[in-house]
Amino acid sequence: MKNNSLYFRPALFAGLIMAIINFAPGLDLVNCFCCAGLFIGGVLAVLFFRLDVPQDYTIMNIDGFYLGLWTGIFAAGFETVLNITIGPFIADIKFQMLKNIINRLLNGMQMPSGLMDQLSQAIAAAKRPGLFDTLVSFFLVVVVYSIFTIFGALLTTAFIQKRKTSQN
């Protein structure tokens, strides 16, 4: 059994970077491209892990799995804290950005009648998150983030393994 503490530091840093990418207004749009921000978190975790281990250490798929899993968990925790503490203050900024994007996509066409009402209600709810909503959101985010970060980490470990075998 491997020592899981080897994965914590790289996953912690990658999770923090991933949470900032997913939380920051404007940067969060990177996830519109097949959850690229989540995928990047897994890639970063493996790259940070590679910096921590000796050069002769062979990074295995199980390392990628654990790194992706821990990165997803840490990122979900960081983002939940950001949503509770800073989220209410930037909800209006995110709403305005989303409204501008929708207006540009519609290009002068009439917006669906209930869409702006639903967005306004979502922003109002984001300004005052309840405990139940926060917990449900956290557990859903853990699952989704972990899936995509595991995927990114596994692909990165496979790439590193392939490069290492082709160099030998």
- Tens of pLDDT, residues 85-97: 888 888 778 778 8
Q: Which residue has the tokens 């799995």?
A: 65
- pLDDT > 60? residue 74: yes
Q: Is the pLDDT of residue 15 over 60?
A: yes
The whole domain housing 98 covers 5-167
Contacts of 134 (CB under 8 A, 6+ apart): 80, 83, 84
Model confidence band, residue 168 (pLDDT cutoffs 50, 70, 90) = low
Instruction: Output the CA–CA distances (angstroms, integers) from residue 17 to 99, 118, 122, 133, in the order listed.
Output: 26, 30, 25, 24
Q: What are the residue ranges of helices labelled H in 107-130?
A: 115-127
User: Mind listing the pLDDT tens digit for each residue in 99-158?
Assistant: 777 778 778 777 777 777 787 777 777 777 778 888 888 999 999 999 999 999 999 999
The Cα 18–Cα 48 span in angstroms is 13
What are the structure tokens assigned to 62, written together?
Answer: 């199980």
**Confidence band of 28 (pLDDT split at 50, 70, 90):** confident
pTM exceeds cut of 0.85 = no
Q: Average pLDDT over the chain, rounded to whole?
A: 85
d(CA 95, CA 53): 43
Domain count, the chain: 1
